[in-house]
Chains A and B, each alone.
Chain A
Amino acid sequence: MRRILFLVEKEFKQILRNRVLLRMMLITPILQLILLSYAANFEVKDLQITIVDSDHSTYSRRLVSKFSHIENFHISTYEPSYKQASLQLLKNSSDIVLVIPPHFERDLYRNNRAEVQLMVNAIDGSKAGIASGYAASIIRDFNAEILTENFPAPPLQNGQVMIANQYWYNPQLEYKTFMVPGILFELLLLIGGLIASLNIVREKEVGTMEQLNVTPIKKYQFIIGKLTPFVIIGLVQFTAGLLVGVFLFGIPLEGSILLMYMFALLFLLLCVGLGLFISNISQTMQQAMFAAFFCLVLFILLSGLFASTENMPLWAQYLNYLNPLKYIIEVGRNVMLKGSSFYEVQSQFFALSLLTVLILSLAMWRYRKTV
């Protein structure tokens, strides 16, 4: 026990002495949390629309003015022809082109039918889908408007279903509410795991590792001594992140704060344990860094931060059983936003505990005092 304390003391001194690193460890996660939470937004806004109005009628102009009054759209240019408009797409200066053909108004009166065309820059497929949906709904609204002008409202028919939606736990559909708990844990993994993964291998490179290996220090003492400082620093980061989330972004904290801390502690043990394991099996810092980076990217992409885990193919879902970030993000969202109690997140608790025990045993096993 005393040996562990000496090791912890030494690690702390080293970390605190490295001002640059310390600043990076404490400030950057918070800065990133703030920046990334603002950046992480799938909402489609500020669509640039190019108008090709070949009709120049009252209706065509009214349709165009509809677009100019909608917040999400900006009319970037008016082009005389379809050809010139498609150049706007090529140049990236427009997201969508609305083409109103000649005789648009006449067709509506005479044939009861007219056609408009939307050309959508679909390189970003999901954005394109939403953009064209928006545009189409504006056109439908316009259609309904001219319909009621020309024909008085028809009576409600039977068999109508009214659908009422309610978005629970995030009624304004704020992206931040959804992203902040995820990003918070992602950063813990990144900072904790990465810095820890470089720690032991650094001692190997400098040569102090060999010196430690000829001392009678026990394996478990070594691992605990290395683990503790990073876990404590991680908890400080977590606290700061939580404060930012709650006070800056107004993220609700419905569930028990104690429960959150318990999970944060467990998760940090796991991250740092993983880092130490990687550090133990690496020979150079470069190797450790890349190995850690590889794991982290894998965890982050599969975690459900960017895309829902349930939509993933089966192989990815199986892979996710080993992904600590997936569990902790679920916990974060459930406890923070929905107020889930321990009972409701116990499966995540057991999964994380199992992974933690596994990775710590691996780290201990791979730490060889004698080769």
Chain B
Amino acid sequence: MKRFFSFVHKEFLHIFRDKRTLLILFGLPFVQVLLFGFALTNEISYAKIAILDNDKGMHSRKITHRLLSSGYFRLEENLTTYADIEKAFRKGKIKMVVVFPQDFDSEYERSKGAHIQLLADASEQNTAISLVNYASAIIGDYSAAQNPVASSPMMIDVRSRMVFNPELKGAFVFVPGVMAMVLLLVSAMMTSVTIAREKEMGTMEVLSVSPLTQSQIIFGKVLPYLLLSFINGCLIIALGVWVLDMPMNGNLLLLLTETLLFIFLSLSIGIFISTLTDSQLVAMFASLVILLMPTIFLSGFIFPIESMPKPLQVVSNIIPAKYFIAIVKGIMIKGVGIGYLLKETLILLAMAGLFIFMSLRKLKTRSL
């Protein structure tokens, strides 16, 4: 046991001596949470648009004024011909063109309904949809304000209540996502790469002829990362709660236990990868492409799972982060207990067991 502790001590020294890596390990979650929290937003503000006003009448000018004073739009240029539209879009600066036809005013007054064209650059399609929706609403308001309609009969009022997140804060989605990503990164990627490194440098051979058992070696290598990941997890929770106003409705102890479970799973994946290869490069690449990218794209962290084609939805079921994200959301936001999270917890446990089992089998046929 004493031998084991001195080995763990050595591993800690390795990690803490490498200040740069440590800085990145702890800097990464900070930067990500801050970026997601403050930089990534789909709210439109002062999008650049162009106006092609062929009429220059009172109504077109009033509508233009309304659009530009809404805070959503900013006038980049006034176009004079239809041919200008294409040119303006190609430069990529403007996102939407509002076109008033020649007889806009007269049509408007003549009760036949006047036409406005909203042309949006849908190569950035999210923005395009939002812009068109905002503009339509503003134009609709204008015409509504012009003719107040008597209250219509048989009105159904829709009262929407946003449960769990009344202010529709983005943090509720990405804090759990970032947490899953960082924990996976630190645990799986770091372990697989450090073990591969020892193999590459030949020091693993030295270790394996020492009186330490193989499981002690692995456990000793993994322990520091368990600790680092756990600190990282706590850090992200703290940032989420204190900086981004995430609620903490559930049991903190349960959350920390589940976090440990997820770290444990990630570590077992890391160990498994390291039993497959002797090369740091391959270990790193494998962790990156089979773990990280799918975690970002398929866990529902950024893109909703329901929107994916069916085969991908099936694939998403094997992404561990999916379950962990559900657990974190459940505990922090919904405040549910273990009873509601049993399925997710069991799946994570089973996955961890599977990876440990596969690693052990690999280790039996060939030593580390």
Contacts and interface: CB of A to CB of B under 8 A. Distances in A.
Contacts of B172: 122-125
A42 B304 contact: yes
Interface in B276-297: 277, 279-282, 284-286, 288-289, 293-294, 297
A302 interface: yes
A166 B119 contact: yes
B24 A294 contact: yes
A91 B340 contact: yes
A312 B132 contact: no
Nearest to A100: B156
Contacts of A334: 90, 92, 123
B125 A162 contact: no
A178 B129 CA distance: 13
B125 A175 contact: yes
A147 B111 contact: no
Contacts of B173: 123-125
A286 B126 contact: no
Nearest to A337: B123
A38 B312 contact: yes
B165 A166 contact: no
B177 to A, nearest CB: 10
Contact of B153 (A43, A112, A124, A175): A112
Contacts of A121: 163-164
B36 interface: yes
B162 A120 contact: yes
Nearest to A97: B163
Given A169-B123, A311-B45, A294 B193 contact: no
Interface string B340-352: 1000000000000
A211 interface: no
Contacts, number: 362
Contacts of B308: 38-39, 41
Nearest to B113: A160
B333 to A, nearest CB: 6
B83 interface: no
A151 B152 CA distance: 10
Interface string B110-122: 1111111111111
A168 B89 contact: yes
Given A39-B312, A291-B20, A159 B125 contact: no
Most B CB atoms within 10 A — which of A128, A140, A195, A340?
A128
A198 B284 CA distance: 10
A40 B296 CA distance: 10
A339 interface: yes
B143 A313 contact: no
Interface string B185-210: 10001100110010011000000000
A162 B155 contact: no
A168 B117 CA distance: 12
Nearest to A166: B119
Given A39-B298, A161-B113, A178-B123, A44 B147 contact: no
A126 B168 contact: yes
Interface in B202-256: none
A287 interface: yes
B163 A86 contact: yes
Nearest to A147: B154
Most A CB atoms within 10 A — which of B44, B118, B153?
B153
B90 A122 contact: no
B318 interface: no
Most A CB atoms within 10 A — which of B124, B129, B197?
B124
B193 A173 contact: no
Nearest to A320: B39
Nearest to A169: B123
Contact of A170 (B41, B109, B123, B297): B123
Interface stretch (A28-36, A231-239, A353-361): A28-36
B74 to A, nearest CB: 10
Given A92-B326, A297-B32, A124 B336 contact: no
Contacts of B284: 194, 198, 285, 289
A173 B127 CA distance: 11
Contacts of B200: 205
Contacts of B156: 108, 113-116, 139-140, 142-143
A56 interface: no
Given A36-B293, A39-B303, A156-B111, A194 B288 contact: yes
A42 B303 contact: yes
B285 A308 contact: no
A365 interface: no
Interface in A167-206: 167-171, 173-175, 177-178, 190, 194-195, 198, 202, 205
Given A143-B155, A284-B18, A312-B40, A119 B161 contact: yes
B122 A162 contact: no
Contact of A160 (B89, B111, B128, B340): B111
Given A21-B285, A128-B168, A311 B36 contact: no
A161 B105 CA distance: 11
B6 interface: no
A308 B42 CA distance: 7
A150 interface: yes
B155 A122 contact: no
Contacts of A198: 280-281, 284
A59 B304 CA distance: 33
A90 B135 CA distance: 36
A257 interface: no
B301 to A, nearest CB: 10
13 contacts: A18-B281, A18-B282, A32-B289, A42-B126, A119-B161, A124-B173, A143-B155, A162-B113, A163-B139, A178-B123, A285-B281, A291-B24, A334-B92
Given A20-B279, A301-B32, A301-B39, 9 more contacts: A147-B152, A159-B143, A159-B147, A161-B108, A285-B193, A302-B35, A308-B124, A308-B126, A344-B90
Q: 7 closest pairs, A vs B, by CB?
A: A158-B111, A125-B168, A170-B122, A122-B162, A167-B122, A316-B39, A122-B165
